[in-house]
Chain A
Amino acid sequence: MNLAVEGLRAGYGSAVIVDGISFEVPDHGALAIVGRNGMGKSTLLRAITGYLKPMAGAVRVGGRSTIGTPTYRLARMGVVYTPQEQSLFGELSVEENLSVGVGGRCPKDLRDEILSVFPVLGERLRQRAGTLSGGEQKMLTLAKALAMRPEMLLLDEISDGLGPGVVTVVGETLTRLREQFGCTLLMVEQNLDLSLRVADRVAVLKLGSIVFECESTEPGLREELTEQLAP
């Protein structure tokens, strides 16, 4: 499933945050969008997933226009989005959280596979998600998304608040998700290492527009990006 965004404009009230963005993530591709704070990264994801009604532009998933498609329908199409803040059900247990997106009990083999990625969650299946530590909640957010067997995964700063060891594991998991299941990835990140490791293209978002885009294997890219991200 590919994702095509054309001339997307979105914001809140009269404030335009994302201004005429166009890009494409091919089927099985992975694009990382990096940028400083307040540049519109989260707003972009919200507009793509229908949480926020775009002011103008087109979003196509698998060739089909999804503007106006309710978020739950996108999720059923296999487009899974992990917001940056608060996407868990705090009163439900870890296990129940994993099951929610599946629409029934999470199958055991899938569950075990996910828990092998995050063993710490396996020890806490019955614990309420709200009482997990910040980093564990992030792990559960990703685990919950994986349990939905996404065809396209939209990640908003998934590495935020995770220890470096866990970030490495997250990177490996995302790479495997692409290789084994052909999942299309769009990730918004602050973590350049993770972005470069997982994505095959990197784009820089500045003041609501994409100002730079290239292959993640480009030599000297890291320095280039650091330069781009400086104020």
Chain B
Amino acid sequence: MLVALVLLAVAPLFLGTYYLGLLTISLVYGVLAVSLDLVWGYTGIPDLGHALWFGIGALSVAMATTKLDSFGIVLTTYPGLGRHLAGLVIGVLVAGAIAAVVGILSFSQREADPFYIAIVTLALTVVAGTIYGQLPQYTGGDNGIFGIAYHGLTNVQWYYVSAAVLVVVAAGALVLVRSDFGLVMRSIRDNERRVRFFGVNVELMKLIVFVGGAMIAAGAGGMFAMIEGFVSSQLFDFLFSTQILIWVAVGGRATVLGPILGAVGLSFVTAELSSSSPTQWALFLGLLFVAVVVFIPDGVLPPIVRLFRRVFHQHGAQGGRQLVDVQRSAPELRPAGEPVATVSDVEFGYGSLRVLRGVDFEILAGELLCIVGPNGAGKSTLLNVLTNGKVPMRGRIDYHLQHDRLAQSGASIHRIARSGVARKFQIPHLFDTLTVAETILVASMRGALPSVWRRTRDVQVGRSVHEIVDATALAGRENDLPPHLAHGLKQGLELAAALSMRPEILLLDEPTAGLTANERHVIGEVFRRLLDAGVTIVLIEHDLDFVARVADRVIVLHGGKVVESGTPAEVAASPVVREAYVGTAVT
């Protein structure tokens, strides 16, 4: 890193005018690449039209500093710094505003396909390139606008300005991606659906990053116009958008420095190839990309970093996170016995299949309620409908939480999670690049807006989380990634994450599946203590011995309806349960 900075500082001494100019512009491209890396690399928003924001910044500077006639011929130029800067600022604001509108429209669609934004941005960049030619009185038409460079700085001065801007942007980006905010960005990229159940407002987070990325790109575009002195439809179009994507992908997605390397390196390679072999350069470039994709799919930077670490025996600069115990005063919860949730006559299904056919029950504060029933009875669907905000086909669900009374129907997933309803899924859904401690950290934030610069090293967890971590052999593996964890450990992590949300109601889908008898025992004890603290637990479970040991009340779901309810002993004696659990089909 230091070497790179020194090289950056002394480069003008060794480079001729041509290469210095090329390097200056490629540093501006570096800023552009970083902005896309934040949006696409870290947050997983596939912005296929990132050039649009760059173009808007450049055009804004051009419009602020020139007067055009109706054919797009420049009549007057205003060389003053004031107008240039005003154009740049306006460009940044306009790009931010347009990005906000695009983002609000594309992200806020419930359950929107993540590729929705890809189509929208792709369409926008194509449309922008076309419109550009149609409005010569504003844009200069097909010729673009020339002669708008700011001449108040020499080439060398411009070089240092670009370098300084890039260093500041890159440093800011590095701080951001290592902060808690960056962690939540990655969690959205890895598993957008899951992180909603941790209370994260995914739409808002994506909007912030998308708008921020657009504004940085527009700033880079404004600088480009001031240095190069022209703007044309090429700065808006799809080809340039693709090029930015390639810089990021080749350099190394989600590394900040990789995309800069990609932008600078490829700018030089392109310039060299196009001058040495004017006809075949595009072919060579194409082959280079194919080679990178085939041989180093992570991009150029990650293997270099790995090699460096191996040679110098260094560990990741990021350092690990650890879990630390905190004593929390017990939260105020509703008095035991009062209903915390009422499910009335709920029907729900998928397509033509009706899974729940009129389910009625109450969840009482401080109880442990078990839901049992044969496979396919609708148990998981019931938990889904309790937490995912989908409006049931009939009936309603109401929560009466301590600080929050809400009707489930129509509330967003993160809203339900934030008000104190935590959930563990039947099949672990975790985050590929989030370590055990990081997963627990994101869950424990419970949707609070994370700091953009602070990096939490000590993840504060309550006693129950620690016990689960110890019992399921997760202890000592706080910095391991889920793909390296055995199935049972993933189950343990799911449970620990749900507990770290400090929930008022804990909904657990088969918490003991994949766990050994001993682990089950510990979990049973943890449940008992949570109940003593006033937490309400609802769990789906097949192990009837376990149910008999921990449950206060059991409801039996069969064929989409509650067919029995009572104490474990009462329910165990019921014919439906006996038949279901002996394995004969119940008709």
Residues of A near any B CB (own CB < 8 A): 12, 15, 36-43, 84-86, 119-120, 127, 131-136, 138-139, 157, 160-166, 168-169, 190, 226, 229-231
Instruction: Report the bound CA distance from A43 to B488 in whole Å.
Output: 13
Assess the A160–B513 pair: CB atoms within 8 A: yes
Nearest first, the 3 closest Cβ-Cβ pairs linking A and B are A135-B375, A37-B488, A165-B583
Assess the B486–A164 pair: CB atoms within 8 A: no
Q: Count of B residues near A, CB < 8 Å? A: 43
Instruction: Report the bound CA distance from A166 to B492 in whole Å.
Output: 24
Assess the B580–A165 pair: CB atoms within 8 A: yes
Q: Which of B106-114, B204-212, B259-267, B515-523 contacts A (4 or more CB under 8 A)?
A: B515-523
Instruction: Report the bound CA distance from A20 to B329 in whole Å.
Output: 49
Assess the A37–B375 pair: CB atoms within 8 A: no
Residue-wise, chain B 541-565 has the 8 Å CB interface mask toward A (1 for contact) of 0111000000000000000000000
The number of inter-chain residue pairs (CB within 8 angstroms) is: 112
Assess the A84–B374 pair: CB atoms within 8 A: no
Assess the B353–A134 pair: CB atoms within 8 A: no
Assess the B487–A37 pair: CB atoms within 8 A: yes
Residue-wise, chain B 276-303 has the 8 Å CB interface mask toward A (1 for contact) of 0000000000000000000000000000
On chain B, the residues within 8 Å of A134 by CB distance are: 375, 380, 426-427, 509-510
Measured between C-beta atoms, what is the minimum distance from B21 to chain A in Å?
Answer: 44
B484: which of A12, A132, A133, A229 is its contact (CB, 8 Å)? A12
Measured between C-beta atoms, what is the minimum distance from A40 to chain B in Å?
Answer: 8
Instruction: Report the bound CA distance from A162 to B472 in whole Å.
Output: 21
Q: Considering only CB atoms, which chain B residue lies closest to A123 in the complex?
A: B376
B489: which of A38, A84, A230 is its contact (CB, 8 Å)? A38
Instruction: Report the bound CA distance from A41 to B509 in whole Å.
Output: 23
Residue-wise, chain B 465-484 has the 8 Å CB interface mask toward A (1 for contact) of 00000001100000000011
On chain B, the residues within 8 Å of A37 by CB distance are: 472-473, 486-489, 491-492, 514-516, 519
Is B584 engaged at the interface, CB distance under 8 Å to the other chain?
yes
Instruction: Report the bound CA distance from A157 to B379 in whole Å.
Output: 21
Assess the B583–A168 pair: CB atoms within 8 A: yes
A133: which of B379, B516, B544, B584 is its contact (CB, 8 Å)? B379
A231: which of B375, B491, B518, B583 is its contact (CB, 8 Å)? B518
Q: List 12 A-B contacts (CB under 8 A).
A: A36-B518, A37-B473, A37-B487, A37-B491, A38-B488, A41-B486, A133-B381, A134-B375, A161-B426, A161-B542, A163-B542, A231-B473
Measured between C-beta atoms, what is the minimum distance from A81 to chain B in Å?
Answer: 15
On chain A, the residues within 8 Å of B374 by CB distance are: 135, 163, 165-166
Assess the A42–B486 pair: CB atoms within 8 A: yes
B485: which of A38, A39, A161 is its contact (CB, 8 Å)? A38
Instruction: Report the bound CA distance from A113 to B209 in whole Å.
Output: 55
- Known contacts A37-B472, A132-B376; decide if A163 and B581 are in contact (CB<8 Å): yes
Instruction: Report the bound CA distance from A36 to B426 in whole Å.
Output: 19
Assess the B375–A120 pair: CB atoms within 8 A: yes
B582: which of A41, A131, A165 is its contact (CB, 8 Å)? A165
A136: which of B376, B472, B489 is its contact (CB, 8 Å)? B376
Instruction: Report the bound CA distance from A160 to B490 in whole Å.
Output: 14
Is B350 engaged at the interface, CB distance under 8 Å to the other chain?
yes
- Known contacts A136-B375, A190-B516, A231-B518; decide if A38 and B486 are in contact (CB<8 Å): yes
Instruction: Report the bound CA distance from A41 to B487 in whole Å.
Output: 10
- Known contacts A134-B510, A161-B513; decide if A169 and B583 are in contact (CB<8 Å): yes
- Known contacts A134-B427, A163-B375; decide if A15 and B484 are in contact (CB<8 Å): yes
